[in-house]
Amino acid sequence: MSHQIFDIAELDVGTCAEKGAEFELRHPVSYEPLGVRFWLRGIDAPSYRQVVRKQIDQQITEGKAELSAKELETRHVERLAAATLSWENVTYHGSALECTPTNAQKVFREQIWIREQVAQFVEDRSHFLPV
Q: What are the extents of the domains in the chain?
A: 13-24+32-127
Task: Give me the pLDDT at residue 10, please.
Answer: 83
Residues 6+ apart with CB under 8 A from 88: 36, 37, 38
Cβ pair 115, 77 in contact under 8 A: yes
Q: Tell me which DSSP letter residue 93 carries.
A: T
- Bridge-based pairing state of the strands 21-26 and 33-40: antiparallel
Q: Three-class SS of residue 37? A: strand
- pTM of the predicted model as reported, rounded to 2 decimal places: 0.89
With contact defined as beta carbons under 8 Å apart, do 72 and 45 qualify?
no
Length of the chain: 131
pLDDT in tens, 63-93: 988 999 999 999 999 999 999 999 999 999 9
